[in-house]
Structure 1
Amino acid sequence: MSESTAEKLVELAKRRGYFFPSAGAYGGVAGFYTFGPQGAALKQNVEDAWRERFAVREGHQEIDAPTVMPEPVFEASGHLDGFDDMLVECAECGESHRADHLIEDNTAIEEAESIAIEEVEELIDEHQLVCPSCGADLSGEPVDDFNLMFGTNIGPGDSSPGYLRPETAQGIFVEFPLLKEYARNQLPFGVTQIGKAYRNEISPRKSVIRTREFTQAELELFVDPEGEGPDLSRVEDVEVRLYPIGEQEDEEGELIETTIGEAVADGTLASPWIAYHLGIAQEWYERVGVDKSRFRFRQHLSGERAHYASDCWDAEAELDEDWIELAGFAYRGDYDLSKHAEHSDEDFTIFKQYDEPVTVERATVDPDMSYLGPEFGGQAQDVADALESLAEEDRSAFEGEDVTVDVDGEEYTVPVEKTDFSVDEVTESGEHITPHVVEPSFGVDRLLYTILDHAYAEDEVGGEERTYLSLDPEVAPTTVGVFPLMDKEGLGERARDLAAELRAAGLSVNYDDSGAIGRRYRRQDEIGTPFCVTVDYETLEDGTVTVRERDSTEQLRVPLEDLDETLTALSEGDLAFADVDGEPVEED
């Protein structure tokens, strides 16, 4: 989409109530947007469609966790230490910019986020990059890590530090000890959440593409790492466009058009769980209006992949001759649950029952605390715990006269005879395992912009230029516009009654009696309303109305008695407009 068309879309979004910068009366604030009546409705419809596909149909639970969480949560998750972007500040005007974005915008380099800071500084010097705000030379300016967390205080007085969540995932992970009980300790099970997240972006840009407050729809799927994978037969024939690491690193690399089944078979998709979710995501994105010819899945390069992820793929859409991330599909292993278990007093494991009891050798210790106490004082219990862990990990360490353990960097030596070390045969019915996590994480705001971008169209009707949004009826904010031909001789009253009847039938209706009928059609076309119904004099005579389809502008006369069922079937995709039983009339 050309730049001029992008500008048209942003202008349309503001004029027709999709989205606009927040707090405009006070000069606005970068990175925050308000979704107007049309945008809020579109957003709700997209979220409902996501919930139906990724929660309801998959049999997963849904929760709604707080957006503010205490500091220890983010100490455990690693966000306090490693949730950073690269910042470069202009010495001339004081404006801050994301260094990797400057490189991507002004060079042929892609995915600069994966490049080390030292190399980023060298690239700024090499390409003589300047400040986008004032044009000053940025060569020689330091590039620093900037933590994106929004901090706050919880409670008055000696309050506890807290943070606005940078992702919805942590609200699921910290509640795992209870959530596993609700799932009856059976793997796999999934937990979904749709909600706000916050990141103090260095340089918000491209309207709702990169903001400081945004909505995520996330699924955290807890699986047994040694258990059975998903049923790939459900998605094996889904066609996808993949951009794996090998193709990205090849100067002549290109997208691979394949199927999920073929990509798993040839090893392009290493994780069956990732493959499964790419398959259902491909179908879902097409369902809500993403143009599949401008859509792909790109594998993370090793430098950009999170340290906890063994593999990660992004769903990306082409916008304004650029590819933007819509979702990430990561295999997070046991990192999250292990970290929260380490930092809390809760159990983040699940008991895995064996099919039959097994007899195994188990190394155990029962340290003599009457010896450890006087010998090590306040460290005695930590030493005892370390001995227990060592016995499980390396029983050979107890073969000598003494055994040495490490506690917080300090070594402690204990006579083996004081540990009561033994290896015994025990019969076990199961074991405690830490589940692995598969995470499909969707950005809702970016998807809304993508849907509008891919739906934006211009044509000519009746010799006049027309702009319309070819939105799928499932997600369109308004299903039907209802008009009286003119607001007199009972037409307006009948049209208003009809609008109320259609709303009662569960349809989203926009009533409009202002201006010429053609102008009213154009207004509805611009907000993406799939169908319009006009009440005219024939309606009063024979009980029929004109139903107009947005994209084709074709019109049919349909009996009022069948109207709610017809429009419902059209909006749910159970009926094509070409198959509606009605009499054709001339186009507008």
Structure 2
Amino acid sequence: MDKYEKILDLCKRRGLFSQSAEIYGGVAGFIDYGPIGSRLKDNLVRLWKKLFIDSHPDLIYEVETPIITPEPIFKASGHVDHFTDPITQCLACKRVFRADHVLEEKGIKAESLTDEELAVYYTKGVECPVCGGKLDTPKRFNLLFKTTIGPYTSSIGYVRAETAQGMFTLFKRAYEVLREKRVFGLAQVGRVGRNEISPRQGPIRLREFTQMELEFFFDPQDTDQVKPFLNDVASESLRLMFANGEKIEEIALKEAITRNIIASPWLGYFMILGKKFLLELGIDLNSQYFLEVPKWKLPHYSKQTWDLMVNVDKWGWIEVAGYSYRGDYDLRAHSEMSRVDLRVFKPYQSPVRLKKLKLIWDADRLKEKFGKKTGSIISKLKTLSEAQMKAAIEKGYVEIENEKIPIGELKVIEEETEEYGEKIFLHVVEPSFGVDRLFYVMIDKAYTEKENRVVLKIPRKLAIPQVGVLPLVTKDGLDRVAREIFKTISKAGIIVTYDEEGAIGRRYARLDEIGVPLAITVDYQTLLDGSVTFRDRDSWRQVRVKKEEIISAIKSFVYDDAKLETLGEPFFIESDARINNG
């Protein structure tokens, strides 16, 4: 077995994750997390929250929004029109494939091909990779899971493809609740669904998965708010690969912002947090970098996107997070679709007198001409900027809702007013992480073998359980004392497991396989003075710890990464049998 197959086998055997609906044959793109994996995944999420939310009090707030999303939201976001992939069907066996992936597997670089260019290849003839039959001309397939809300077929909804849109639709309420802050973030961790055409990369490409996303709202003209945060990471640098580059370059964050390599200082700041997050997951600097997404490949909402890439044994470099500068696309789009003004008020330092154009209209006349569209038209007329009004005057009409409204139907006046501020759309930067991919990457980096045994070197703070308690044998009262120690550790809030089945070496091996950092052994010396042995998962070395120091020693080892040798006296065994062979 290669490393990937060994990891899948380990995860299945030891309750980390396995294919969902397994007793029914399973369905591609869905996985279940077992008793160990679920808690381990939760620890990964807690670490992200600590770095991105808890470390930013009164600035970033966690929220929760529904998984089922009404259709107008995804129309406004662009998902209904743009969230698609090209598919092709075999005319013989009727199997469906992603069209660009089929060409990639045949050695053709298809990632940047337009639909028309894809069609040229398929018109010439492309064989089915399964039966050899002819593949049909590609067509677009929307990746949204579609449903109905309630009993009415006209009330269309979708399983959200990202948590982001819920935060954009919550923006107005959050802005009001937070006393009209013009700089704040909304963060959310939740399940999303994407109806992938042919997911074939295990936990790397799923149809249902967990996202950790932050939508950070800010005024791009206000550069003072970000300065204290940049000062905190002033000495940091980023490993970057440009869209047209061939190698990774390490560039100081300050330089990247000054040279406008990174489009927003806030984006750069959160990229540093992403780097630190991966380091705490056990992913070293040489195994991560940020890849600039070329302009032709940018999502429809993005001004700039950097993908956080990580190297894994099976697939090489894969994306685990996307960092996008979304500009004002989302708030503007939802403002237009919902007819609710999502702009915020930005006060001037002192009032100014301005001459401004103003449109005046007769609502009854507009209704006679445009009927049901009138309300939407008036709503958008109210939000026209000065520049848009001047452009309309030059053209002789205003175009709204695909209707051309002659300037003659409107009255344009110039009035002098005293203005105390202006309304603006805040901009957004978005760090978006895929939890399931990160979970797999963490296991990939932690997986090691020592003397034909698996040792999962998960960072101690993330490991579940954190400690195992083992009686050397189940006689002479050792098991009773071990259970008492087990209860004491549990009451101290430490996640602990107890194992008395089989030889001591086999029990050590079971703990090593799931990444438990510390094994406590109760032996005959324990009966004499209360001391126990601490065994380090990674080195297999042991020290003897006094009874009264057990809890503090565990906390130092697990939470503070203390060296084993600092916790007690070295403990040696004449034979390695107790450690290795039981």
- In structure 1, the partner of 2:448 is 457
- In structure 2, the partner of 1:284 is 277
* Cα displacement (A) at 1:423: 1.6
* Cα displacement (A) at 1:527: 0.6
Instruction: Provide the C-alpha distance between the structure 2 equivalents of 1:404 and 1:68, rounded to a whole number of angstroms.
Output: 40
**Residue pair 1:187, 1:223 contacting (<8 A) in 2 also:** yes
Q: 1:566 aligns with which of 540, 553, 561?
A: 553
For residues 287-326 of structure 1, give each alpha carbon's deviation from its aligned partner in whole angstroms, at most 9, with x where no partner exists: 1222332211111012221122110001111121421110
- Secondary structure of the 2:549 match is helix
**Residue pair 2:293, 2:305 contacting (<8 A) in 1 also:** yes
Instruction: Provide the C-alpha distance between the structure 2 equivalents of 1:387 and 1:153, rounded to a whole number of angstroms.
Output: 33
The answer to whether 1:575 aligns with 2:562 is yes
Instruction: Provide the C-alpha distance between the structure 2 equivalents of 1:300 and 1:91, rounded to a whole number of angstroms.
Output: 35
Which runs of no fewer than 5 residues in structure 1 stay unpaired?
A: 248-252
- In structure 2, the partner of 1:97 is 97
**Residue pair 2:61, 2:185 contacting (<8 A) in 1 also:** yes
Worse-matched range after superposition: 497-506 or 115-124: 115-124
The answer to whether 1:162 aligns with 2:153 is no
Instruction: Provide the C-alpha distance between the structure 2 equivalents of 1:495 and 1:38, rounded to a whole number of angstroms.
Output: 22
- In structure 1, the partner of 2:476 is 489
The one-letter code of the counterpart of 1:172 is: M
- In structure 2, the partner of 1:355 is 349
- Against the structure 1 CA distance between its residues 532 and 381, is the aligned structure 2 distance closer, same or farther, given a 3 Å change threshold? closer
Instruction: Provide the C-alpha distance between the structure 1 equivalents of 2:30 and 2:364, rounded to a whole number of angstroms.
Output: 62
* Cα displacement (A) at 1:399: 7.7
**Aligned runs of 1:370-381 on 2, under 5 Å?**
none
Instruction: Provide the C-alpha distance between the structure 1 equivalents of 2:105 and 2:541, rounded to a whole number of angstroms.
Output: 44
Instruction: Provide the C-alpha distance between the structure 1 equivalents of 2:11 and 2:111, rounded to a whole number of angstroms.
Output: 30
**Residue pair 2:532, 2:547 contacting (<8 A) in 1 also:** yes
**Residue pair 2:339, 2:379 contacting (<8 A) in 1 also:** no
The answer to whether 1:62 aligns with 2:62 is yes
**Residue pair 1:365, 1:391 contacting (<8 A) in 2 also:** no
Identity, % of aligned pairs? 39
Q: 2:533 aligns with which of 536, 546, 557?
A: 546
TM-score, structure 2 normalization: 0.91
Instruction: Provide the C-alpha distance between the structure 2 equivalents of 1:505 and 1:186, rounded to a whole number of angstroms.
Output: 41
**Residue pair 2:533, 2:571 contacting (<8 A) in 1 also:** no
Instruction: Provide the C-alpha distance between the structure 1 equivalents of 2:150 and 2:238, rounded to a whole number of angstroms.
Output: 49
**Residue pair 2:122, 2:138 contacting (<8 A) in 1 also:** no
**Residue pair 1:360, 1:428 contacting (<8 A) in 2 also:** yes
The answer to whether 1:475 aligns with 2:462 is yes
* Cα displacement (A) at 1:107: 2.5
- In structure 1, the partner of 2:321 is 327
- In structure 1, the partner of 2:428 is 437
The answer to whether 1:504 aligns with 2:491 is yes
* Cα displacement (A) at 1:426: 1.3
- Secondary structure of the 1:30 match is coil
Task: Report how many residues are paired.
Answer: 569
**Residue pair 1:363, 1:391 contacting (<8 A) in 2 also:** no
- In structure 1, the partner of 2:415 is 424
**Residue pair 2:392, 2:407 contacting (<8 A) in 1 also:** no
Instruction: Provide the C-alpha distance between the structure 2 equivalents of 1:156 and 1:370, rounded to a whole number of angstroms.
Output: 37
Instruction: Provide the C-alpha distance between the structure 1 equivalents of 2:329 and 2:503, rounded to a whole number of angstroms.
Output: 62
**Residue pair 1:288, 1:474 contacting (<8 A) in 2 also:** no
Instruction: Provide the C-alpha distance between the structure 2 equivalents of 1:83 and 1:375, rounded to a whole number of angstroms.
Output: 35
**Residue pair 1:314, 1:328 contacting (<8 A) in 2 also:** yes
- Against the structure 1 CA distance between its residues 368 and 478, is the aligned structure 2 distance closer, same or farther, given a 3 Å change threshold? closer
- Secondary structure of the 1:202 match is coil
* Cα displacement (A) at 1:429: 1.3
- Against the structure 1 CA distance between its residues 10 and 422, is the aligned structure 2 distance closer, same or farther, given a 3 Å change threshold? same
- Against the structure 1 CA distance between its residues 525 and 376, is the aligned structure 2 distance closer, same or farther, given a 3 Å change threshold? closer
**Residue pair 1:352, 1:432 contacting (<8 A) in 2 also:** yes
- Secondary structure of the 1:186 match is coil
Instruction: Provide the C-alpha distance between the structure 1 equivalents of 2:467 and 2:454, rounded to a whole number of angstroms.
Output: 18
The one-letter code of the counterpart of 1:115 is: L
- Against the structure 1 CA distance between its residues 317 and 484, is the aligned structure 2 distance closer, same or farther, given a 3 Å change threshold? same
**Residue pair 1:383, 1:407 contacting (<8 A) in 2 also:** yes
Q: 1:191 aligns with which of 163, 186, 195?
A: 186
Q: 2:503 aligns with which of 516, 523, 531?
A: 516
Instruction: Provide the C-alpha distance between the structure 1 equivalents of 2:197 and 2:392, rounded to a whole number of angstroms.
Output: 54
Instruction: Provide the C-alpha distance between the structure 1 equivalents of 2:131 and 2:168, rounded to a whole number of angstroms.
Output: 45
Worse-matched range after superposition: 29-38 or 570-579: 570-579
For residues 66-112 of structure 1, give each alpha carbon's deviation from its aligned partner in whole angstroms, at most 9, with x where no partner exists: 10111111111111111111212222322222223334444374xx4
- In structure 2, the partner of 1:34 is 32
* Cα displacement (A) at 1:160: 1.8
The answer to whether 1:298 aligns with 2:291 is yes
Instruction: Provide the C-alpha distance between the structure 1 equivalents of 2:74 and 2:444, rounded to a whole number of angstroms.
Output: 36
- Against the structure 1 CA distance between its residues 375 and 455, is the aligned structure 2 distance closer, same or farther, given a 3 Å change threshold? closer
- In structure 2, the partner of 1:144 is 139
**Residue pair 1:383, 1:405 contacting (<8 A) in 2 also:** no
**Residue pair 2:185, 2:216 contacting (<8 A) in 1 also:** yes
- In structure 1, the partner of 2:241 is 243
* Cα displacement (A) at 1:377: 7.1
* Cα displacement (A) at 1:365: 3.2
